Structure formats: structure tokens, C-alpha cells
Structure 1
């Protein structure tokens, strides 16, 4: 019996193979992840994340899940916002990314965070626990996105909010062409020069193109049960912030 297929960038692979291959990509890029984010986006990723934090409306006492949180950029800010009475969990499927995130946050004096290695498709948390879930630049790497969205819905409290920050479809054809040139010609070279890994950054560029566009992802979020779903294009649609509420 043939295994079910999914995509790994532009390559078709068995569903059971993708998780391991994505894990290897992020194990490879983890040591240079923050540097490469700054180089690839010319620092603009910090503005996208700042917008996400503002949109989250996280406050003192909240419980927050930073899913696929990597090196903890969002977690660090959330930990300050929720205070001692709140709870922040940095979760990632990749142990190397979690290790880098933990070391980075502890170096910054952030200790009120729990670190959990978890698959977004099967979150190991109680029902109706979190006030807010964020997933920044992680959903496109999930094999079964619908299962992950249902899992996020389950662990959110009624009234809780989901925010998905992800690369998306540029709003203008000319921008889309320029973005393709950058992604497939410049990005792998940056990966080779600064991280000694062109292949992983080639995969990351391909994974962006295989990710659902703005309207498709909005429909998927609604299909998982979320309401009041909307998205905001950032940088002319190169990135979009999707939001949904659990009523």
C-alpha cells in the first residue's frame, strides 16, 4: 500500500517522512536563525512581530502559547506582559530551536517561561487553557495544517484568540516577480554564505510558495471552528497576519 504523499518544498514525500526532514532543516539553521532572519528581511521581521504582539492584546495574568516559537522573539515580550500571575509556554517541535530559544531568553533574564517540545497537530495541553496562541512563520512547515488548527482551537479558552503570522502571496504581480527572484536566487546564497547551508534556505523559499494564500488560509481557520476571522497584509502581502477567535 502506497504511503500518503505531502510536499516538502516542491518535492513530494511520504507524510511520515516530512516531520523528520523539517526537523533536520531547523536543526541545521538553529545556530544562525536570528542572524539569517535579520539578513533575509533586512530587519523587517521585527516590525511584523511587533505588529503581531500589539494585535494579540495580551495582558497581565494571561496564559499564552507561542507555538513554533523558535528562538523566542515573541515569548520574550509576552513574558513581560503577562507578569508573575500569567503563564507563557514556548513550544516547538525541534529540540535544537528550543535549546537556542531557552539560552537566548535566559541570557536576557527571562525565566518565567515553560519550554515544551510539541507537535502542533497534537498539542499536549488541557482543553480551554490558553487566552492567546501565536504561531509565527511555523504553520507552513506543519504537515497536517487542518489538524494543527483544530488542536489550537481545542486548547484555547472561549474568548481566546489565535494569531498566525506567515509568509503569504504578494498583492502585486510585479512585486511577486521580484520576490521570486530574491527568494530563489539571493536567499540560498545568503544561506550558503552565512549559515553554510544553501539547501535548507532553498526549502524555506519553496515552502513559502506551497503555503496557502490569504483567502485559503482564512477558510481553513474558519473550518477549524474559529470565528471573526480576518487577515491583514503586511509589506504588501509578502507576510499576512491571520486572526481568529474562539467563541
Structure 2
């Protein structure tokens, strides 16, 4: 990659984005889940529950949860009997997840530091690939989607939970005001980090629209793609199958 990529509202070199995103998540790792509750009013828990219901993890299935550092999605899927590998490019996020797993007495999870764009796993290894609120932080999204397709078995399924742009009139304007003005201040108050949360909001604004991202998933080789908007598209569940 030689073109510029987005880091929030800035356009930077790909290597610079990777470095900066790493710094953001190292900064916010310790307070990540507390901030999720504060920013969404606890709604992220309902979104994640809904997401896992759509994935329908089965006992004995091998599932790769990418960008799953703190374990929120993995814990839910493991509770249904799935054999979950939690992967994240950021070791600080993984460390938080491992600590949370120990506190809960969960021992069946595998934890691995991985770059979504260049996974170390062999082809056709997993029954499902999940990524929640992580794809927009990947430097080369098409490369990550192609890697997701590669590591899935034939018949494997891809599920992505990500912020998008709500289409509800009135709510969109209110949310824009809240996210741009208040979220960085919440980050400053709770996590002592205003800049990282300003980036996270800006990254949502720069992310492709729901139809655009669905097209990217299809281009990576997935079929039967589907988009399920939540709250008018504030959040969306994207899915596709490898055949």
C-alpha cells in the first residue's frame, strides 16, 4: 500500500496509521469496557448479545474472534460451547482480556497477537470469523476481509459488528453533537484520554456506508451477504458466507 489512509479526519501513511491506532488502544485498554458503558449507556451489551445470537455459535465449533482483545464477544460465544481463539494486534488489549478471563475462571480460550491483514493461521481453519468494533481500525480493510475469507472453512460464516451512520431523522443530528462534543470529554474524565476518543469518533465518520462495506465484503469473496441495521444504522451487523 502506498496511498494515504484515514486516521480519524487526517490522511496519513499506512504505517503511520498502524502505529497510531496501536498507541490509541494501548492508551485506552485499561478503561475500554468502562468507557463502552459510559459512551453507549450500556447499550453495547445489548448489541453484542444480538450479534452473538446472529452468529449462533455451536458446541465444538472453531471460531476466530478478531480484534477481540478484552473478551466481550469471546466470553459470550464460549458460554455456548464454541472453541474460541481471541486475536488482537494489540497485546495490551489481550492482557486485559486474559485478566478478565482469569477473574471469571474461564480457561478454554486461546489468546493470540495477530495482525488482521496477515493472519498466521492456515487456510480453512475456522467455522466462523467474528469482529466487533474493530474493522474500522484496520489499516487495509480489503486485505483483512480477504484473510477472513481465507481462514474460513467452506461453508464458514463471517460476522462483523460495527458503527455506521444512523438514518433516523433528528437522532442523527443529536448523535453527531453528542459524539463529537461529549464523548471526548467523557474519555478525558474517565480514561484521562481525550484525544484517543476523539479519534474513535472520527474513525466512525470515515468508515464506509453500509452498502459500501457490504460491497467490500462481497469483493473479498463472500456470498449471501446481509446488513442488519440497529438503531437506524448507528450500528450494523454485516454477514456473509464462504462457499
Residue of structure 2 in register with 1:69 after alignment: 68
Residue of structure 2 in register with 1:101 after alignment: 97
The offset of 1:211, in angstroms, is: 0.5
The offset of 1:177, in angstroms, is: 1.2
The offset of 1:199, in angstroms, is: 0.3
Residue of structure 1 in register with 2:50 after alignment: 51
Residue of structure 1 in register with 2:227 after alignment: 231
Match of residue 186, structure 1, among 155, 175, 182: 182
Aligned residues: 243
Matches for 1:1-247 after TM superposition, within 5 Å: 4-82=3-81, 86-247=82-243
Q: Aligned to 2:160, what secondary structure does the other structure show?
A: strand
Q: Structure 1: how far apart are the matches of 2:177 and 2:38?
A: 16
The offset of 1:169, in angstroms, is: 1.1
Structure 2, unaligned stretches of length 5 or more?
none
Give a deviation string over 1:71-116, Cα, whole Å, max 9, x none. Answer: 101111222222xxx5210000001000001100111011111111
Q: Structure 1: how far apart are the matches of 2:73 and 2:168?
A: 29
Q: Structure 2: how far apart are the matches of 1:57 and 1:195?
A: 34
The offset of 1:6, in angstroms, is: 1.0
Across the aligned residues of Structure 1 and Structure 2, the Cα RMSD in angstroms comes to 1.2
Q: Aligned to 1:119, what secondary structure does the other structure show?
A: coil
Is the Cα–Cα contact under 8 Å of residues 6 and 12 in structure 2 kept in the other structure?
yes
Q: Structure 2: how far apart are the matches of 1:19 and 1:102?
A: 23
The offset of 1:190, in angstroms, is: 0.1
The offset of 1:172, in angstroms, is: 2.2
Q: Aligned to 2:154, what secondary structure does the other structure show?
A: strand
The two structures have a TM-score, normalised by structure 1, of: 0.96
Is the Cα–Cα contact under 8 Å of residues 86 and 112 in structure 2 kept in the other structure?
yes
Q: Aligned to 1:122, what secondary structure does the other structure show?
A: coil
Q: Aligned to 1:128, what secondary structure does the other structure show?
A: coil
Q: Which moved more, 1:73-82 or 1:103-112?
A: 73-82
